[in-house]
């Protein structure tokens, strides 16, 4: 499973962080662990065939 979080930084820029794992919760946690403090999630995309 692969989860990609698209986030908005406090300065208005956007970034995407991807995490992989055996299930959704693990993959989401791996992606969320890369997100800087103060950022807001804009979208969550999943790919169950990756990872």
> pTM for the complete prediction?
0.87
Can you give the pLDDT at residue 23? 95
Distance between CA atoms of residues 4 and 31, nearest Å: 7
Can you give the pLDDT at residue 50? 81
User: Which domain covers residue 32, as residue numbers?
Assistant: 2-47
Q: Say how many domains are in the chain.
A: 1
pLDDT surpassing 90 at residue 51 = no
pLDDT in tens, 12-43: 999 999 999 999 999 999 999 999 999 999 99
């Amino acid at each position: 499973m692969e989860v990609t979080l698209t986030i908005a930084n406090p300065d208005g820029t956007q970034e995407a962080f991807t995490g992989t794992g055996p299930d959704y919760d693990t993959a989401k946690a791996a992606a969320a662990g890369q997100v800087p403090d103060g950022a807001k999630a804009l979208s969550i995309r999943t790919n169950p065939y990756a990872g």
